[in-house]
Structure 1
Amino acid sequence: MGAAVTSYRALFPIAAEAVAWAADIMRSRPPGTLTSKGDRDIASDLDYEIERGLRARLGAATPGIGFLGEEEGSTGSAEVRWVLDPIDGTANFVRGIPLCAVSLGLLHGTEAVLGAIELPFLGSRYTAAKGEGAYVDGMPIRVRDTRLLSQAIVAIGDYAVGPGAAAKNHLRLALTAHLAETVQRVRMTGSAALDLAWLAEGKLDAAITLSNNPWDMTAGVAIAREAGAAVRDRDGAEHRSDSAMTIAVAPALVETILSLIDGPVAG
């Protein structure tokens, strides 16, 4: 661990204060100007303002820890670094849809070891650190013990946009169709952080994203894993920041879900 970090749990108050600060800005300010980042992908003025603000605040509070933000990239150490999605679910946020989050995680190498997710318009804060359990508003949470797909509510990530979207969406659409035939309900919230937090709390039974950006996943993976979820890559290996996919599920469903993705759906 970096020399400036003595324990992951010691960083809880810093992470919680950071996401609370960002959530206050989201609740009190309009999105501002929207900037195109490519085909059907946008960032708002607040995305940039929150990221710059937290880069500065966390740099001052934890100078030995690096920082990776979705909008403006990486600074400082790559061994241990904060990873931020300033507004996860920007498309929802700019339309006034409350399914959006501030997502702040900590990577140690390629492992997600701490997470803080604030849902500004739903009034919940999720936190976890490796070996310390997962919490919502200070209360312990645990994944649901769902054992049958027919009883599962499954969230899936957004369909792909940008270069190669058609090929990427072939698998996504096939998975959606197969899930629709087998699970209780399929949901697409538009926020990976929210999906993973709700899995940890037992509101969902699986959160499947057929991609893996560290700013989208680090905080939620840490929280889901500490709540007892199995979090895997497509090949069944433990999820890391360089994994191809993010497949987080109630433990009893992991092999069934993996077989759907790597079996008849992929074919």
Structure 2
Amino acid sequence: MTDSPDSSLSTGAENAPELRATEIVEHEIDTRSLLAIAEAAVDEAETTFTAAVGADPSVMKSPGDFATEADLSVERQLRSLLTRYTGLPVHGEEYGVVRPGEQVEVNPNDEYADEFDGPRSPSHEPSNPGLNELPETCWVVDPIDGTANYAVGNPLCCILVSLVHKGEAVVAVCEMPLLGSRITARKGHGLFVDGHPARPMPPSDPGLTQIGFGSILSQRRGNLPVSYRQDMLNAIGRTYPRMRVTGSCGIDLAFTAAGVFGGTVTFSPNLWDNCAGILMIRENGGEVTDFAGNRWVPGVSGIVAGEPEVHANLLRHIQSVSIGSAARTAQDVKDRGGIR
């Protein structure tokens, strides 16, 4: 598929920064040291994460979407540690972008409250900036990805931390405390699972390959109708019957990078859900695009990722499914790579 000539149907990918050579990135920033700092911050935040498993919802962000107090605490802690260690701003799911030196309200009951602390109450509509709208170099944090799982003690939840430099992720950490596993990557240096080089992505095998799939019923993904997602699931299932729904975009992408899943289809438009996993998959030789086959950009609901052959098969099935009359036309969805 190619982009529509009508610029109003663009995903925005044509204006996104180009992926740059590893040696250029490493000349500009020390990704090895920054990955070590990210892991050290996650080590400290993991204690906060595990102590509050099963926490009740405390902030209703939108219908069907909530945060627990642990989401807020882990993000405040990560933001404080990452900024203290590096001086770089942090863009998090719950509080948006907080830059060093900004005037913010300090929570006196938070042991990590300091001059870098953010507001006591998060915005109910955290911003989802495009890559060109972020600071040149900043951390991107999802304190608890899979909050609904976390709130009931389901272990499929994780902490996601990535570093974005000039529009692309160059460092990524997916910490799964309740599974006792950590997956990391830095641009040009491959993927690591629990500190060891990851195995190569296994080849496509319809009898064995598992495919992660995003939310099937959640009304929060209302710009991609439930019927469309179900038809997509059925189409993919004809080739890959071993479909899996984890409830966590971060885990779907990390499992795909590590070869647990052969591929995944997710529907979140958010940078914090996807940024770390996109780098991880690319670092282990996988493909990541939007539904049109173009580079994914924040704001587009639709990522397809996986081992190259699996990715191609998934993309073919996705592009064969009509979205129906419940929203926009199928061609519009494909031209946009999903829907904003």
Fold-level similarity (TM above 0.5): yes
Question: 2:63 pairs with 23, 39, 45, which one?
Answer: 39
CA contact (8 A) 1:231 1:239 kept: yes
Are 2:91 and 1:68 aligned?
yes
Q: Which runs of no fewer than 5 residues in structure 2 stay unpaired?
A: 1-23, 100-133, 324-329, 331-340
CA contact (8 A) 1:36 1:43 kept: yes
CA displacement 1:227-246 (0-9 Å, x = unmatched):
11111112212334455422
Question: 1:89 pairs with 131, 146, 151, which one?
Answer: 146
Separation (CA, whole Å) in 2 of partners of 1:52 and 1:17: 15
Rate the CA distance shift 1:230–1:66 in 2: closer, same or farther, 3 A.
same
Are 2:34 and 1:11 aligned?
yes
| Partner residue in 2 for 1:239 | 296
Rate the CA distance shift 1:142–1:213 in 2: closer, same or farther, 3 A.
farther
Are 2:140 and 1:117 aligned?
no
- TM-aligned CA deviation for residue 149 of structure 1: 4.1
Letter in 1 for 2:312: E
Letter in 2 for 1:50: V
After TM superposition, the structure 1 = structure 2 runs for residues 205-224 of structure 1, keeping only pairs within 5 Å, are: 205-224=262-281
Letter in 1 for 2:308: P
| Partner residue in 2 for 1:138 | 195
Letter in 2 for 1:182: T
CA contact (8 A) 1:149 1:253 kept: no
Rate the CA distance shift 1:165–1:134 in 2: closer, same or farther, 3 A.
same
Rate the CA distance shift 1:180–1:255 in 2: closer, same or farther, 3 A.
closer
The 3-state SS of whatever aligns with 2:175 is strand
Question: 2:79 pairs with 48, 55, 73, which one?
Answer: 55
Question: 1:191 pairs with 238, 243, 248, which one?
Answer: 248
CA contact (8 A) 1:112 1:241 kept: no
Separation (CA, whole Å) in 1 of partners of 2:137 and 2:70: 26
What is the aligned-residue identity percentage? 33
Q: Which structure shows the bigger proportion of residues in strand conformation?
A: 1
CA displacement 1:201-253 (0-9 Å, x = unmatched):
11100011133211101111111111111111122123344554221111122
Question: 2:260 pairs with 189, 203, 208, which one?
Answer: 203
Letter in 2 for 1:66: P
CA displacement 1:63-94 (0-9 Å, x = unmatched):
1x221100111123611111111000110011
Rate the CA distance shift 1:95–1:215 in 2: closer, same or farther, 3 A.
same
Rate the CA distance shift 1:133–1:242 in 2: closer, same or farther, 3 A.
farther
The 3-state SS of whatever aligns with 1:224 is helix
Separation (CA, whole Å) in 1 of partners of 2:295 and 2:221: 26
Rate the CA distance shift 1:194–1:105 in 2: closer, same or farther, 3 A.
same
CA contact (8 A) 2:185 2:279 kept: yes
| Partner residue in 1 for 2:44 | 21
Separation (CA, whole Å) in 1 of partners of 2:45 and 2:215: 24
CA contact (8 A) 1:134 1:223 kept: yes
Report the number of matched residues: 265
| Partner residue in 1 for 2:211 | 154
What RMSD, in angstroms, separates the aligned Cα atoms of the two structures?
2.3
Separation (CA, whole Å) in 2 of partners of 1:107 and 1:244: 20
The 3-state SS of whatever aligns with 1:104 is strand
CA contact (8 A) 1:143 1:199 kept: no
Letter in 1 for 2:73: E
- TM-aligned CA deviation for residue 152 of structure 1: 2.3
| Partner residue in 2 for 1:168 | 225
* TM-score using structure 1 length: 0.90
The 3-state SS of whatever aligns with 2:238 is helix
The 3-state SS of whatever aligns with 2:225 is helix
Question: 1:106 pairs with 136, 157, 163, which one?
Answer: 163
Letter in 2 for 1:49: S
